[in-house]
Structure 1
Amino acid sequence: MLMRFGGSLLCRGAMRHPQIPAKQRLSQLLFLQPKTRTCSTVQNVQSAKSRSVGLWLAGCSGMVAGAVLLGGITRLTESGLSMVNWSLIKEMKPPSNQQEWEEEFSRYQQSPEFQALHSHFTLEDFKRIFYMEWAHRMWGRAIGLAYFIPLAYFVARGKIAKTDYKRHGAFCCLLLAQGGYGWYMVKSGLKKPERDTDMPRVSQYRLAGHLFLAFLLYSGFLWTSMSHLKRDLLFESHKNLKRLRILAHISKAMVFITAMSGAFVAGLDAGLIYNSFPKMGDFWVPPEILDFDPKWKNFFENSTTVQFDHRILGMSTLTIISSTWIMSRFTPLPKRAKLAASCLMAMALFQVHLGITTLKNYVPISTASMHQCGSLVALSLALWLSHELKGIKRVARKIK
């Protein structure tokens, strides 16, 4: 198999570089194009990978990360319910004169949030939170333009492989769903709470769904961009590789699940209770952890249980990532894969530190925003590690 693999690559390389000895040219081709088997498949692989497409998708993933950070700050500053209407085109232009501002402020004054929390707000106070929410919405529209316009260009130029059409179709659906779901989430906070003791806020279920779509879109953009930009390196397989890949996938899933758990913490303001660590007050397990009926509601609506779950998930994620890093130390890997594992380990430790600091200091905006952003960085590193290990397996399989 290896002889046929090398010979087929050499037929193209020898014609282009007759002055280079055959053995040397074969070695270069093996390391630069480990995925190819025949002269015809070289062209297929090269057409499937495009640096310009990779950079475009990397930029889109960065814009989605910016939207997540901006959305977190919008929530922490209680700005998300300042715009009580939604329009795809009309709201792109903010109020431009005193009359328009007063009309917008009048609409906000009728909302439950103003009446319960912000009745003391002046017009200047309202402008501050309005611009925060407006910027978040405009950034979402900018992501749509940054994706759809280049997509049409790349498809027209044949830069998008036909095998990727379904993937980009999924990206289109996710982008459109994210915009609509954002307004669906905001609408839940514009209704008067069922109990007078409850504060007006968006549904924690819808907040988690909004974050889920953002993380899913970000992961898809980043993974696809790495497939275009990264070149797989030829490396010998190892008996630990399969177990290491499984651990990397579990790490990736745990980071994702823990981040979704954090959305419930944010939606219920659960970070403002039990501001101590490692115990929750005087308890390892608070007594009210299963107070709600039916019991399953405690995991999504009981602030104490939601915070307890987030702590357990956070420490479990750290344990899994630590196991992944330890195994990577005992497995021969390319430098890029080892670097990805080490970066993920360092970020996991820093993310736990940020979470504890945020909790103990009663959720200050700066550290809370860093903690939310840290979850996205940890997910990025977990995706990077998984992508590196995936490449090793593919190359090892082809040279057997």
Structure 2
Amino acid sequence: MSAVATVAPPTARPLAVANWLLALCGLILLMVIVGGITRLTESGLSITEWKPITGAIPPLTEAHWLREFELYKRIPEYQQINRGMSLAEFKNIFFWEWAHRQLGRVIGLVALLPLAWFWFRKAIPDGYRLRTASIFVLVCIQGAIGWWMVASGLTQRTDVSHLRLAVHLLTALFIFAFCLWTALDLRSPGAERRRMPTIAIWAFAVLFLQLLFGAYVAGLDAGYAFNTWPLMGDELYPSAAPWLEPLLRNFVDNPITVQFIHRWLAFGVLAMAILLAVRVRRDGGRRESLFLHIVVGLQILLGIATLLSGVHLHVAVTHQAMAVLVVAAFVAAAHRLALGQGRTADPSIDLRSAVAAE
């Protein structure tokens, strides 16, 4: 059986809770876009302190700005790369990092305040209280991961750790997928919790690897290594490329190898997307199938365009934003497949729906 029955108290408002979670998904999409701009403009290390509450207020006086600038001058990024930067230039990169953190605060409040209201009003259906509360906990953890990532670039490095960046990005995408799946559960007949089909689990495993290597590409600036496609220069893989020791390090720390894997793993994602789309279309999910084909195809084209453009800001940010829509398409298709299997496995669901309609 693919569904777990829930008992809804008289005050339960599953659609309202679902809409709240969908709003969170929209904010996370915006967060990923702003995060991409912050990374591509090299703005992520401009704020060298973590003040979750008081940091919401930006510098308001010249003295405050000079203090922030002096703190930035102490880190390796300024000393080795941006030495001589003007205060006006600093204000520009400061803005994007502040906007990124401010949006994180907004997401935290949107995760907490409606949750508290729904909880107090007993509007959350049984079986969803722990799940919705865990979303708020994950959002808080994500904030801590963001600072953990930034802290990696404040002492010895001139950038943040690409490993920590990968954890930060993948956590954001997991929260997005978790919110969307829960919202779709709440909007399904009887607000029944669905279990992910096996084929979808395999599809998500391949997608996870691709997103992981995409984060490595971003963190290592590996997109700049070769701006030709389908060959890297004149070869499938450049024979003169240096190799790190031990061998496995190349799959994590070598920008050329990481870009190569990210290029071709995209077609593994495409193959899994086609398999999932075919299955969901057979179950009547024509829209989900079409959406999945469109976003994966567009994402591959955007990835190629990002390389050919030399990682142009607007193209690269669109590529990162599209990654969120790819996750959304996989979740929507997987959930539609789970919904169809649940109805097949448990005919009583349709019977209960028919009785309720009468």
Q: TM exceeds 0.5? A: yes
For 2:351, the equivalent position in structure 1 comes to none
Q: Could you say which residue in structure 1 is the equivalent of 2:23?
A: 59
CA distance in 1, matches of 2:240, 2:207: 27
- Structure 2: runs of 5 or more not aligned: 191-195, 349-358
What's the offset of the Cα at 1:326? 4.2
- Distance (whole Å) between structure 2 residues aligned to residue 246 and residue 162 of structure 1: 26
Aligned match of 2:92 in 128, 131, 140?
128
- Aligned partner of 1:208 in structure 2 is 166
Q: Deviations over 1:158-183 (max 9, x none)?
A: 11234223212321321111111111
> Following superposition, which runs of at least 4 residues in structure 1 exceed 4 angstroms of deviation?
45-49, 326-329
What aligned pairs does 1:1-400 form with structure 2 within 5 A after superposition?
Answer: 44=8, 50-193=14-157, 200-231=158-189, 245-287=197-239, 291-328=243-280, 331=282, 333-334=283-284, 337-399=285-347
For the residues of structure 1 that align with 2:341 and 2:202, how far apart are their CA atoms?
Answer: 17
Q: Does the 8 Å contact 1:291/1:298 carry over to 2?
A: yes
Q: 1:323 and 1:289 mapped to 2: Cα distance?
A: 35
Tell which structure's C-alpha radius of gyration is larger: 1
State how far apart, in whole Å, the 1-side matches of 2:236 and 2:59 are.
51
Distance of aligned partners of 1:266 and 1:217 in 2 relative to their CA distance in 1, 3 Å threshold: same
Aligned residue identity for 2:297 = L
| Partners of 1:36 and 1:45 within 8 A in 2 | no
Q: What letter matches 1:381 in structure 2?
A: A
**What is the distance in 2 between the residues matched to 1:297 and 1:49?**
50
In 2, Cα distance between the equivalents of 1:260 and 1:46?
43
RMSD: 2.3
Equivalent residue for 2:356?
none
CA drift at 1:285: 2.5
Unaligned runs of 5+ in 1: 1-34, 194-199, 233-243
Deviation at 1:289, TM superposition (A): 6.2
Q: Does the aligned pair in 2 maintain the 1:321–1:344 contact within 8 Å? A: yes
Question: How far is 1:47 from its partner?
Answer: 6.5
Q: Is the 8 A contact 1:341 1:385 kept in 2?
A: yes
TM superposition shift of 1:393: 1.1
CA contact (8 A) 1:325 1:342 kept: yes
Query: C-alpha separation between the residues in 2 aligned to 1:264 and 1:396?
Result: 41
Q: 2:353 matched to which residue of 1?
A: none
The alpha-carbon distance between structure 1 residues 45 and 230, as it changes in their structure 2 partners (threshold 3 A), is farther
Aligned identity (percent) is 34
* Alpha-carbon contact 1:288-1:304 (below 8 Å) kept: no
Letter in 2 for 1:306: V
C-alpha distance in 1, partners of 2:328/2:39?
Answer: 23
Higher RCO (CA-CA < 8 Å; seq separation 6+): 2
Distance 1:245 1:172, change over 3 A: closer
Distance 2:164 2:153 in 1: 10
1:14 aligns with none
Cα distance between partner residues in 2 of 1:227 and 1:209: 26
Summarize deviations over 1:51-97 as a string: whole Å, max 9, x none.
Answer: 11111111011111111111111000111000011112221111111
User: One-letter code of the match for 1:54?
Assistant: A
| 1:290-325: CA deviation from partner (whole Å, max 9, x where unpaired) | 711111111110111111111121111112222333
Provide the C-alpha distance between the structure 2 equivalents of 1:46 and 1:385, rounded to a whole number of angstroms.
Answer: 31
**Equivalent pair of 2:12/2:124 in contact (CA under 8 Å):** yes
Q: Give the 3 Å change call, closer, same or farther, for CA 294–212 of structure 1 in structure 2.
A: same
Query: Secondary structure at the residue paired with 1:163?
Result: coil
Give the Cα–Cα distance (whole angstroms) in 2 for the partners of residues 55 and 84 of structure 1. 36
* Aligned-residue offset at 1:361: 1.1
**Cα 1:36–1:371, aligned 2, differ >3 Å: closer, same or farther?**
closer
Measure, in 2, the Cα distance between the counterparts of 1:309 and 1:288: 17
Secondary structure of the 1:287 match is coil
Aligned residues: 342
Distance, in Å, in 2 between the alignment partners of 1:159 and 1:289 is: 58
